């Protein structure tokens, strides 16, 4: 039996949601419906990619995070931050200043995630040699792992069973501190995340039982705190440029082609969730073959386009590239090395994750015969639905409505065009039709309301 | 359940539409991924074969609770020597087709490998009918 519970980081704020169709129509896995005037997420379909959050005009999609004060539950508080955090700020601010500000905020240590990538740069080619599955699909992006689980189950075996840089870095840092004599239970490692999927992955890890990370702080929260401090000139005590303690390659790991460039053989890099779905579809059919390694990330421009990033993704890419080229120059004259290799043998023993298990969301029924009946019913319903895919029924398209009807989650009269048609032929009363609309879009939804978005008395927030 | 697709010779951009659609259906009725993969690979090969060699063709798919049966019927040059055509690496594909990355001579043998049952009838200058059956459990 597949586990039924999956942690999700994306939640709808019912007070802010006014029930439009933006999130529903962009959701790549068709996980969203509108009921009673509010968006509703089918949890088994959600992959935490965050497309809905980007599309929401009302800021009603929230990303769960640990309250910042929870860091103080630990004596030693580690901020584990991704390089894209440093790419949020103008290049005149060095990564060392950003780390210093995090210490001012209450952390006792700050460590950059991409240190872990230097380890993977060595290990991935070795893994490729021993893997029986080709191509190897990177385990880097947690939204993509979930996408494969729910929509491309036959590719689940191809997901690399090596931990992503963030978990490698967390594991290293914990061991590093324990070796210095600190107590394990007094160390709290907090990941500053640019994405919702990583939060979900930390709260319910795929392919492993526990995580070395204790909590997650959203990047948009930290960004505000850091930017304020930088603006107030509070980072002056650490003007020096950051030292190249990792390779320029590791620093660029989270950017598109950061990883694929170092894999063995023919490797390819894909970003964007829709691009990813197209590609995986073709890969599954073996229309695309003869590839050794696939780096695949849900966000456009990979982590630089993370949904919790504040800054323009292209500027973030530019800044990180500038920083990487500075590292390239600085490394020649410096003796700094990546500390992660102090624990290389420990990491080698602890860098594996279990196989990623499929959990298909597509099946209409566990039982094949019943599923077949349901599918035939769906196809029959599609004879009646108009194929306009307007979303007015509260489902993203006619096909989704038909499937919902078959699963007893919706009714044919939810379709406003069919309502009209049925009323014309005297098969549906105006009253019932109106009730259906209120059931989907909320009571009094069709009443005049001048506070609505774009209306004359709109309050902007 | 029945599905039907039309293919026209030479139009490689549309090869893969039948296999994608069938894949979607099989996923919905909870067929094991391994079995889906075999069906889809065999069907995709068939689609490419029709594109590469025939003038036009039709695909008829029938799914019941135990098996999927696919008939691929084309109007085309037919196959002169079926035994030769089944061999790996044997190909009569034109240079133009090979330039597009097809025509490696793996089509029919790959289909046979992925089908549970396969039969092939062909008449030279008329066309070819391939039937593949895969069991879903």
Q: What is the pLDDT of residues A11-57, one digit of tens each?
A: 999 999 999 999 999 999 999 999 999 999 998 899 999 999 999 99
Q: Is residue A195 part of a domain?
A: yes
Is B13 at the interface with chain A, CB within 8 A?
Answer: no
Pairing of strands A32-35, B2-8: unpaired
Task: Give the per-residue pLDDT at A131.
Answer: 92
Is B135 at the interface with chain A, CB within 8 A?
Answer: no
Task: Give the per-residue pLDDT at A236.
Answer: 65
Q: Is residue A361 part of a domain?
A: no
Nearest to A375 among B1, B16, B36 (CB): B1
| Cβ within 8 Å, pair A372-B44 | no
Residues A308 and A412 in one domain: no
Nearest to A285 among B20, B31, B34 (CB): B20
* A/B interface, count of CB pairs below 8 Å: 64
Residues A120 and A201 in one domain: yes
How far A284 CA sits from the closest chain B CA (Å)?
7
| Cβ within 8 Å, pair B23-A285 | yes
The residue in chain B having the minimum alpha-carbon distance to the alpha carbon of residue A371 is: B29
Residues A228 and A328 in one domain: yes
Task: Give the per-residue pLDDT at B84.
Answer: 79
Is B1 at the interface with chain A, CB within 8 A?
Answer: yes
Set of chain A residues whose Cβ sits within 8 Å of the Cβ of B30: 360, 363-368, 371
* B40-82 per-position pLDDT tens digit: 999 998 998 898 888 889 999 999 989 999 999 999 888 888 8
- Give which of B122, B102, B117 is closest to B47, Cα–Cα: B102
* A310-353 per-position pLDDT tens digit: 899 999 999 999 999 999 999 888 888 999 999 999 999 999 98
Kindly tell me if the per-residue pLDDT of A305 is higher than 50.
yes
**Which positions 98-127 of B are in contact with A (Cβ < 8 Å)?**
none
CA distance B137 to B133: 12
Contact A86, A97 (CB under 8 A): no
The mean predicted confidence, pLDDT, of chain A is 92
Nearest to B27 among A285, A360, A376 (CB): A360
| Cβ within 8 Å, pair B16-A368 | no
* A95-107 per-position pLDDT tens digit: 999 999 999 999 9
* B76-104 per-position pLDDT tens digit: 888 888 887 777 777 777 777 777 667 66
Set of chain A residues whose Cβ sits within 8 Å of the Cβ of B36: 154
Nearest to A368 among B16, B41, B136 (CB): B136
Residues A241 and A341 in one domain: yes
Residues A160 and A185 in one domain: yes
CA distance A189 to A172: 11
Kindly tell me if the per-residue pLDDT of A163 is higher than 60.
yes
| Cβ within 8 Å, pair B40-A286 | yes
Kindly tell me if the per-residue pLDDT of A270 is higher than 80.
yes
Is B18 at the interface with chain A, CB within 8 A?
Answer: no
- Give which of A166, A164, A136, A162 is closest to A148, Cα–Cα: A136
Contact A79, A98 (CB under 8 A): no
Residues A85 and A45 in one domain: no
Set of chain B residues whose Cβ sits within 8 Å of the Cβ of A406: none
Nearest to B29 among A281, A287, A363 (CB): A363
Task: Give the per-residue pLDDT at A207.
Answer: 65
CA distance A267 to A158: 14
CA distance A164 to A215: 17
CA distance A201 to A170: 14
Contacts of A362 (CB under 8 A, 6+ apart): A150, A151, B24, B27, B28
The pTM is what?
0.89
Contacts of A260 (CB under 8 A, 6+ apart): A138, A267, A268, A269, A293, A294, A295
The residue in chain B having the minimum alpha-carbon distance to the alpha carbon of residue A155 is: B33
Contact B112, B83 (CB under 8 A): no
The CATH code of the domain that includes A30 is: 3.30.70.20
- Give which of A325, A66, A80, A106 is closest to A191, Cα–Cα: A80
The mean predicted confidence, pLDDT, of chain B is 87
Q: Is residue A354 part of a domain?
A: no
- Give which of A294, A254, A293, A297 is closest to A273, Cα–Cα: A297
Domain residue spans of chain B: 2-135
Considering only CA atoms, give the Rg of chain B: 14
| Cβ within 8 Å, pair B23-A284 | yes
Set of chain A residues whose Cβ sits within 8 Å of the Cβ of B3: none
Contacts of B57 (CB under 8 A, 6+ apart): B6, B7, B8, B9, B50, B72, B73, B74, B75, B76, B127
Task: Give the per-residue pLDDT at A237.
Answer: 64
Q: Is residue A341 part of a domain?
A: yes
Residues A379 and A411 in one domain: yes
* A187-215 per-position pLDDT tens digit: 999 999 999 998 888 887 666 667 789 99
Set of chain B residues whose Cβ sits within 8 Å of the Cβ of A281: 20
Neighbours of A426 (CB within 10 A): 7
What is the band of A1 on the pLDDT scale with cuts at 50, 70, 90? very low
What A71-76 contacts at long range (C-beta under 8 Å, 24+ apart), as own/partner pairs, is A71/A106, A71/A107, A71/A188, A71/A190, A71/A215, A71/A217, A72/A106, A73/A188, A74/A186, A74/A187, A74/A188, A74/A214, A75/A108, A75/A182, A75/A183, A75/A186, A75/A187, A76/A108, A76/A109, A76/A177, A76/A182, A76/A186, A76/A187, A76/A188
Coil vs helix vs strand at B58: strand
Range of the domain at A386: 368-441
A→B interface, C-beta within 8 Å: 153-154, 156, 281-282, 284-287, 358, 360, 362-369, 371-372, 375-376, 379
Q: Is residue A451 part of a domain?
A: no
Q: Which of B4, B27, B48, B51 to mutate to test the interface with A (most CBs of A within 10 A)?
A: B27
Kindly tell me if the per-residue pLDDT of A461 is higher than 60.
no
Residues A329 and A204 in one domain: yes
Task: Give the per-residue pLDDT at A3.
Answer: 45
User: Percentage of chain A surpassing pLDDT 90?
Assistant: 76
Q: Is residue A460 part of a domain?
A: no
Set of chain A residues whose Cβ sits within 8 Å of the Cβ of B1: 372, 375-376, 379
Residues A46 and A78 in one domain: no
* A123-140 per-position pLDDT tens digit: 999 999 999 999 999 999
Is B25 at the interface with chain A, CB within 8 A?
Answer: yes
Kindly tell me if the per-residue pLDDT of A66 is higher than 90.
no
Set of chain A residues whose Cβ sits within 8 Å of the Cβ of B40: 284-286
The residue in chain B having the minimum alpha-carbon distance to the alpha carbon of residue A377 is: B1
CA atoms within 13 A on the CB side of A281: 15
Asked if the peptide bond before residue A306 counts as cis, ω within 30 degrees of 0, the response is no
User: Percentage of chain A surpassing pLDDT 70?
Assistant: 96
What is the band of A4 on the pLDDT scale with cuts at 50, 70, 90? very low
Task: Give the per-residue pLDDT at B26.
Answer: 93
Pairing of strands B56-63, B67-75: antiparallel
* A224-253 per-position pLDDT tens digit: 999 999 888 876 666 678 889 999 999 999
Residues A46 and A112 in one domain: no
Q: Is residue A78 part of a domain?
A: yes
Residues A306 and A340 in one domain: yes
Scan for tokens 């200043």, then name that residue: A97
CATH level 3 topology of B2-135: Heat Shock Protein 90 (3.30.565)
Neighbours of B6 (CB within 10 A): 12
Tokens of B92: 């009569």
Sign of CA dihedral B99, B104, B108, B112: negative
| Cβ within 8 Å, pair B137-A368 | yes
Set of chain B residues whose Cβ sits within 8 Å of the Cβ of A156: 33
How far B102 CA sits from the closest chain A CA (Å)?
11
| Cβ within 8 Å, pair A287-B16 | yes
CA distance B29 to A212: 39
Task: Give the per-residue pLDDT at B105.
Answer: 63
Q: How many domains does chain A have?
A: 3
Q: Is residue A454 part of a domain?
A: no
Set of chain B residues whose Cβ sits within 8 Å of the Cβ of A365: 29-30
């Amino acid at each position: 039996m597949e586990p039924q519970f999956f942690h999700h980081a994306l939640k709808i704020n019912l007070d802010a949601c006014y029930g439009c169709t933006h999130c529903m129509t962009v959701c790549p896995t068709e996980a969203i419906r509108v009921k009673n005037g509010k968006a509703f997420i089918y949890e088994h379909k959600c992959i935490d990619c965050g497309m809905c959050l980007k599309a929401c005009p009302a800021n009603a999609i929230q990303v769960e995070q640990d309250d910042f004060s929870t860091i103080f539950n630990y004596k030693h508080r580690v901020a584990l931050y991704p390089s894209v955090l440093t790419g949020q700020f103008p290049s005149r601010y060095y990564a060392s200043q950003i780390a210093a500000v995090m210490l001012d905020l209450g952390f006792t240590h700050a460590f950059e995630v991409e240190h872990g990538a230097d380890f993977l740069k060595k290990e991935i080619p070795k893994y490729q040699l021993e893997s029986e599955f080709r191509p190897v699909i990177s385990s880097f992006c947690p939204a993509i792992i979930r996408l494969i689980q729910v929509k491309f189950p036959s590719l689940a075996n191809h997901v690399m069973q090596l931990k992503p840089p963030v978990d490698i870095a967390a594991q290293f840092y914990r061991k590093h501190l324990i070796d210095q004599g600190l107590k394990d239970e007094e160390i709290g490692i907090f990941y500053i995340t640019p994405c919702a999927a990583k939060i979900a992955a930390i709260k319910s890890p795929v392919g492993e039982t526990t995580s070395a990370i204790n909590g997650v702080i959203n990047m948009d929260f930290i960004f505000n705190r850091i930017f304020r401090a930088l603006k107030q000139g509070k980072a002056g005590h650490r003007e020096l440029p950051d030292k190249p303690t990792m390779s320029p390659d590791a620093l660029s790991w989270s950017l598109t082609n950061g990883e694929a460039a170092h894999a063995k053989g023919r490797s390819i890099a894909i970003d964007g969730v829709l691009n990813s779905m197209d590609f995986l579809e073709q890969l599954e059919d073996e229309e695309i073959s003869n590839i050794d390694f696939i780096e695949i990330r849900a966000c456009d421009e990979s982590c630089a386009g993370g949904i919790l990033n504040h800054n323009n993704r292209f500027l973030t890419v530019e800044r990180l590239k500038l920083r990487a080229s500075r590292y390239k120059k600085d490394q020649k004259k410096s003796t700094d090395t990546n500390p992660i290799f102090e624990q290389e043998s420990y990491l080698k023993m602890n860098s594996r994750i279990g196989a990623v298990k499929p959990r298909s969301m597509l099946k209409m029924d566990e039982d094949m015969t019943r599923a077949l009946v349901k599918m035939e019913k769906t196809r029959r319903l599609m004879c009646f639905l108009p194929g306009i895919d307007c979303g007015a029924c509260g489902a993203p398209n006619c096909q989704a409505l038909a499937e919902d009807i078959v699963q007893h989650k919706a009714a044919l009269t939810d379709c406003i065009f069919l309502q009209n048609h049925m009323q014309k032929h005297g098969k549906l009363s105006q009253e019932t039709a109106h009730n259906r609309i209120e059931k989907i879009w909320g009571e009094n939804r069709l009443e005049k309301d001048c506070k609505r978005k774009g209306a004359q008395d709109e309050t902007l927030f | 359940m029945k599905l039907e697709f039309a293919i026209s010779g030479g139009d490689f951009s549309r090869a893969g539409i039948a296999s994608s659609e069938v894949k979607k259906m099989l996923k919905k009725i909870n067929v094991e991924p391994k079995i889906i993969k075999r069906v889809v690979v065999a069907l995709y090969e068939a689609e490419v074969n029709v594109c590469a060699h025939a003038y036009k063709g039709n695909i008829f798919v029938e799914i019941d609770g135990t098996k999927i049966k696919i008939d691929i019927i084309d109007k085309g040059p037919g196959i002169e020597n079926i035994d030769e055509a089944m061999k790996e690496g044997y190909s009569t594909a034109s240079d133009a087709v090979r330039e597009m990355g097809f025509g490696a001579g793996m089509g029919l043998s790959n289909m046979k490998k992925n089908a549970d049952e396969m039969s092939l009838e062909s008449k030279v200058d008329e066309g070819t009918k391939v039937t593949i059956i895969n069991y879903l459990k």
